Amino acid sequence: MKLVFIILTSLSLFACGAASEKGKWNEADREEAMKDVKTYSSAIETVGSQKDLCFDCYVDSLEKNYDNYEAAKRLNEGDRLGILMDCAIKNFKFD
């Protein structure tokens, strides 16, 4: 009986996936953040081919400071753009 309980518990933990935490988000939070930041694509046209690096930098910055993407979504648009612009500056290269 204990074995059945252990197996069922293990399966349910794997099925749910790991919860996000500050510094280590789960894949679902990272994907949602990436999808959302791409809506600001026109704001960083000047970085050219470095856009993907900027998007990664943005998601990494949020991940370092927030427990999950739900918490990070509470930022206002100006703060989000500020983070993205910081990333654009870090990754600016002439093509």
* C-alpha torsion sign, points 59, 60, 61, 62: positive
pLDDT of residue 82: 94
Contact criterion met (CB below 8 Å) for 66 and 72: yes
Q: Report, as an integer, the average pLDDT of 8-33.
A: 75
**What does the pLDDT read at residue 15?**
47
pTM (predicted TM-score): 0.75
- CA count, 13 A, side-chain hemisphere, 64: 7
How far CA 79 is from CA of 49, 63, 74, in Å, comes to 24, 15, 10
